[in-house]
Structure 1
Amino acid sequence: MDVSVFLSDDYRDIDFARKHQTGKWVVIPNGADEREFDSPAIRNVRDKFKIGNDEFLILHVGSYTGMKGHKEAMEIFYHSKARNTVLFLAGSHLSKLRKIYSKF
């Protein structure tokens, strides 16, 4: 039995499957447990990059492909003028991200 697996119930891929009745599908959420992010490793990242414990950390993970929302995240963060907040981008193709960042 073939089944399409989607990571979110609210995304264009599953919307397409619903609209075109592509067959059987299941949603397996890709969310993370908050306990995964409260560990010594995360605290070490804060130390390594000099991010204070009093600063809010927004973590954006994914290889830069142009489809993961890195550019949009940077633009939103820039315009938000958020205080005591750090946007931390983790992924591959750092040179492309630096080029986008330089525009802000």
Structure 2
Amino acid sequence: MRYVLAFGLTGVIAAFAGIAIYFGFDALYARASAALAHSPSEVLRTFAPCAAIVLCGAIGAGLLLGLWNMVSGRSEDESQGFMRLRVVTQFALVCVIMAILSISV
């Protein structure tokens, strides 16, 4: 049962990532090339929201993996590792949010 859930969740995430890449790649490429031609604050203004979205997804994935590992009764060390990864990712997200706030003022 858990393998079906794991493969199903992985397939859904891969499908959404594929759709996002297919429909949003041209817009992202245009924004990135325009931002890289300007100042470093423009680069940060362009890429910080994308980084925040990726970090939010990583936090969710780390939380789900840690909880799944804990519920399935596997090694506590792996569960602790996932939770530590989630805390580090949350710190990175706070740093990105602070960078967004600093350039928006």
TM-score of the superposed pair, with normalisation by structure 2: 0.28
TM-score of the superposed pair, with normalisation by structure 1: 0.28
Question: Which one has the bigger helix percentage?
Answer: 2
More RCO (CA 8 Å, sep 6+): 2
